[in-house]
Amino acid sequence: MIRRCADLPQPGDAATEVDQVVIFTLRTLAARSLALKAEAYQLHKRLRALIAAHAPELLEQRGIGPDSAAALLITAGDNPERLRSEGSYAALCGVSPVQASSGKTRRQRLNRGGDRQANAALYRITMSRLRWDTRSQDYPRRRLAEGKTRREAVRCLTRYIAPETFTLIRPTPPEQATNPGPLAA
């Protein structure tokens, strides 16, 4: 419909002034819409290429697209080595559990801290995996059987996805890569 509006012919002399204005407006808005769509496509291609150059493993994971990958990389910043553990990364993304227990009731609530864009990216990854990944679909079923609510199960799954993305964003420190430690045999 937008292409048809962009291709509307110039109104003839018999057209009323209102018809001329309506056709002009439709053509102008449709042309702008098509230009913005083309610009968004070019930006999306450049973003995907940039992420593929810096963290190609991120785009290979199920449910992680260029937008989510970019949000997670921005949150990690220029120096992802400063993040010492998966827990610190989870807290930075706002998916670390926060105790909200009272009396005999033990539960955890949503962490309202952290980077909200990274939190939203992890949530989108979780929702995508819940739709397409069988392992992720099984997880909430187990949690629901344990008595958790669906909301809590999704929050737990999001928390388990954060360390996976952390290992993809943060490179292995050189001393750990060359020295496997005393338990490796």
Helix (H) or strand (E) holding 99: strand 98-99
| pLDDT above 80: residue 55 | yes
Q: Record the tokens describing residue 45, joined without a space.
A: 């291609």
pTM metric for this prediction: 0.75
Please choose, from the candidates 3, 183, 176, 181, the residue with its C-alpha nearest in 3D space to the C-alpha of residue 85: 176
pLDDT digits (tens, 9 = 90+) for 16-41: 888 889 999 999 999 999 999 999 99
pLDDT digits (tens, 9 = 90+) for 133-169: 888 989 999 999 998 889 888 988 998 899 899 988 8
Report how far residue 32's alpha carbon sits from residue 59's, in angstroms, rounded to the nearest whole number: 31
